[in-house]
């Protein structure tokens, strides 16, 4: 048991464990102290100073986010001295911040703006000292506007601690201090994985996604274009947060209705190609196992999932020698683009040249992925525009759609049906679970031996999860797997991925299959999701994803009737010729530094 410390905050007594910060002790008494550099996912910085409080007997004010409580401390969180200091600090921050607020993408959802409002700041009291240089729009995913940066360094800590990418650092000092990439190179020329976690934690508009809202509206308004949309599973459990619902509220049906009202010609579902991914990737895994175990061929094992484009780019930079371990399956987004412009185009008799594929993703790295040179197996860029959950929310608002009271509808057929296995792609461990539901059945002819098909050991928020599954009672084709222990590992967040990859590199990890998602919690914590983000919110989204799975009648990818149909009528067989042409890809070694 930790020692308990007694103190008073605003004259109210409180008792908290030793080591608690003043900020958290105040929270316990229901006093909110404003913060900017502080973020629950990150280590303490104590540099913005907005959280200062008055401590009896202290000459200076105390930063509450980084000061632990002490016995008999007497704290005031809202004294005149504190209010004056905070007002000054806000105004100083505003003076180094480009205040084109009404033109800003973060207008009304900006944390600096919210605090400025609380302290009724005179925005022009001080002289403008913001850093003015061209906005970095080199990356298709993330844009960086230094004129809006308030140097809280949340992005630096996110990139370093959560993702171990280190694309940003504070550079220079004093009045030149600035968040920069290596040598201040354009974002697209550095090790950035486009995961967008920095955007999720940027309190201002300094880091935002490159948005493609206008392009999508233009496509929708163009009568010569056939515009289809796909939505990723994690979008439906988070979109509501940006449109008036509590975290964890599922809005699948309303989202479909809203997309119809916005004018998309067809509303499809990335879940359809998630199911397709499972078929392809599951067979690829079995193929690799067969090659390694039965035919004794040199095969890259463990096989690693390839759904998360942030993870892909990370591996290409950080562990280029491991790229053979990646499944050659494209991500569901890219499989969708490829089949939409071929299979669907044929069926619907649409010229793919006139088709626009829009995808709505919880992810910013998908914007980069869609623009990778190799992603054009339909003969066109397979996916034209990628917008984030946040962009979709804004478009729904722009369209004047009263989202909260919207009726629920379902996706269009052909590329719209999906299983629960596809839905759980949105949570860490989901791809693994979905793959097992199918692969186990392919091998044994029986369902995975877990209650309600729910493979609990691969679920949850632990950074690195390990599990194994014993294979017994194999069908004749798979006898070589009889009694084998299939070893699995799952990681989310690139720092955790790195831990795992170091083991793989050393050869100390003898896993068969590894699932990695770049973002904390998996796609549900993606860089394109509504803000704010924290563990509590991510857990609620996760619960919603598993509830969505439970509510579906089809729970296994291979049971999806539209999947059966596409194999019968178009692809013929998993890993077949057409699949290789449309659904599989290759990777590029990139520079690490």
- Residues annotated as catalytic are 281, 284, 307, 327, 366, 369, 374, 523
How many residues at the interface with other proteins, by CB under 8 A? 52
Q: Is 322 in the site for other proteins (CB under 8 A)?
A: no
Q: Is 170 in the site for other proteins (CB under 8 A)?
A: yes
Nearest in space to 273 (alpha carbons), one of 232, 327, 222, 314: 232
Residue (166 or 460) nearer to other proteins, CB: 166
- Give least dist CB 499 to other proteins, A: 14
**CA pseudo-torsion sign 303, 306, 312, 314:** negative
Please count the CA atoms within 13 angstroms of the CA of 420 that sit on its side-chain side. Answer: 20
Contact region with other proteins (CB under 8 A), list: 85-93, 298-306, 333-341, 412-420: 85-93
Sole binder of other proteins in the list 10, 17, 24, 46 (CB under 8 A): 46
List Cβ neighbours of 568 (8 Å cut-off, separation of 6 or more).
none
Q: Is 183 in the site for other proteins (CB under 8 A)?
A: yes
Sole binder of other proteins in the list 41, 96, 241, 433 (CB under 8 A): 96
Specify the 3-state DSSP secondary structure of 361. Answer: strand
Q: Is 56 in the site for other proteins (CB under 8 A)?
A: no
Residue 439 phi/psi, 5-degree rounding, is -60, -40
Residue 140 near residue 167 (C-beta atoms within 8 A): no
Q: Is 50 in the site for other proteins (CB under 8 A)?
A: yes
Sole binder of other proteins in the list 68, 253, 263, 416 (CB under 8 A): 68
- Give least dist CB 477 to other proteins, A: 45
What are the tokens at 1? 């048991």
Residue 161 near residue 45 (C-beta atoms within 8 A): no
Distances (CA, A) of 266 to 233, 263, 376, 455, 588: 17, 9, 21, 34, 33
Spell out where 345-430 has E strands.
355-361, 385-388
Residue 380 near residue 251 (C-beta atoms within 8 A): no
- State the Cα–Cα distance between residues 420 and 491, nearest whole angstrom: 21
Q: What residues numbered 526-545 form the site for other proteins, per CB under 8 A?
A: none
Site string for other proteins, 111-130 (x = CB under 8 A): --------------xxx-x-
Q: Is 321 in the site for other proteins (CB under 8 A)?
A: no
Residue 530 near residue 393 (C-beta atoms within 8 A): yes
State the CB neighbour count (10 A cutoff) for residue 174: 5
Q: Is 190 in the site for other proteins (CB under 8 A)?
A: yes
Q: Is 593 in the site for other proteins (CB under 8 A)?
A: yes
Q: Is 356 in the site for other proteins (CB under 8 A)?
A: no
- Give least dist CB 71 to other proteins, A: 13
Sole binder of other proteins in the list 57, 174, 223, 476 (CB under 8 A): 174
- Beta strands 62-63 and 52-55, pairing class: antiparallel
Nearest in space to 158 (alpha carbons), one of 567, 534, 545: 534
Q: Is 105 in the site for other proteins (CB under 8 A)?
A: no
Q: Is 160 in the site for other proteins (CB under 8 A)?
A: yes
- Give least dist CB 124 to other proteins, A: 12
Sole binder of other proteins in the list 30, 32, 132, 176 (CB under 8 A): 176
- DSSP 8-state symbol, 101: G
| Positions in the binding site for other proteins (CB under 8 A) | 44-50, 52, 60-61, 63, 66-68, 81, 84-85, 88-89, 92-93, 95-96, 125-127, 129, 150-151, 153, 160, 165-177, 180-183, 190-191, 592-593
């Amino acid at each position: 048991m930790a020692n308990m410390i007694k103190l008073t905050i605003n004259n109210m007594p409180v008792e908290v464990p030793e080591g608690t910060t003043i900020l958290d002790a105040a929270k316990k008494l229901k006093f909110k102290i404003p913060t900017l550099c502080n973020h629950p996912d990150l280590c303490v910085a104590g540099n913005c100073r907005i959280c200062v409080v008055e401590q009896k007997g202290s000459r200076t004010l105390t930063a509450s986010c980084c000061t632990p409580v002490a016995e008999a401390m007497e704290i005031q969180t809202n004294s005149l001295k504190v209010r004056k200091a905070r007002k000054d600090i806000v105004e100083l921050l505003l003076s180094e911040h480009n205040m084109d607020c009404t033109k800003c993408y973060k207008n009304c959802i900006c944390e600096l703006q919210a605090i400025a409002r609380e302290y009724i700041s005179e925005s022009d009291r001080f002289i403008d000292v913001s850093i003015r240089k061209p906005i970095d729009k080199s990356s298709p995913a993330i844009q960086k506007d230094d004129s809006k940066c308030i140097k809280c360094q949340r992005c630096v800590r996110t990139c370093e601690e959560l993702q171990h990418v280190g694309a940003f650092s504070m550079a220079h000092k004093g009045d030149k201090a600035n968040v920069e990439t290596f040598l201040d190179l354009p974002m697209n020329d550095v090790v950035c994985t486009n995961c967008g976690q920095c955007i999720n934690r940027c309190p201002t508009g300094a880091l935002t996604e490159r948005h493609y809202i206008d392009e999508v509206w233009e496509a929708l308004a163009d009568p010569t274009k056939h515009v289809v949309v796909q939505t990723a599973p994690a979008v439906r459990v988070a979109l509501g947060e940006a449109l008036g619902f509590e975290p964890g509220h599922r809005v699948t049906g309303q989202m479909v209705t809203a997309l119809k009202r916005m004018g998309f010609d067809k509303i499809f579902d990335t879940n359809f190609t998630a199911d397709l991914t499972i078929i392809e990737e599951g067979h690829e895994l079995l193929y690799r196992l067969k090659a390694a175990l039965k035919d004794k061929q040199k095969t890259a094992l463990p096989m690693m999932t390839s759904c998360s484009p942030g993870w892909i780019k990370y591996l290409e930079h950080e562990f280029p020698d491991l790229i053979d371990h990646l499944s050659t399956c494209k991500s569901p987004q890219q499989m969708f683009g490829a089949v939409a412009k071929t299979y669907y185009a044929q069926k619907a008799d649409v010229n793919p040249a006139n088709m626009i594929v829009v995808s709505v993703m919880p992810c910013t790295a998908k914007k980069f992925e869609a623009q990778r040179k190799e992603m054009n197996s339909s003969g066109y860029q397979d996916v034209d525009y990628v917008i984030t959950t946040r962009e979709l929310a804004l478009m729904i608002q722009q369209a004047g759609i009263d989202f909260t009271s919207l009726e629920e509808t379902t996706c269009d057929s052909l590329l719209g049906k999906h299983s629960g296995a596809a839905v759980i792609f949105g949570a860490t461990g989901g791809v693994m679970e979905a793959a097992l539901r199918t692969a186990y059945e392919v091998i044994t002819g029986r369902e995975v031996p877990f209650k309600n098909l729910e493979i609990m050991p691969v679920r949850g928020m632990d950074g690195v999860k390990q599990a194994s599954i014993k294979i017994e009672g194999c069908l004749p084709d798979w006898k070589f797997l009889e009694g084998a222990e299939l070893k699995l590992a799952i990681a989310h967040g690139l720092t955790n991925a790195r831990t795992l990859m170091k083991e793989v590199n050393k050869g100390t990890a003898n896993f068969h299959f590894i699932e990695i998602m770049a973002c904390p919690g998996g796609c549900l914590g993606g860089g394109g999701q509504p803000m704010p983000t924290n563990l509590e919110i991510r857990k609620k989204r996760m619960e919603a994803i598993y509830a969505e799975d439970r509510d579906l009648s089809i729970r296994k990818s291979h049971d999806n009737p539209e999947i059966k149909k596409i194999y019968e009528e178009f692809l013929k067989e998993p890993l077949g010729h057409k699949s290789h042409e449309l659904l599989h890809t290759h990777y590029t070694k990139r520079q690490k530094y």
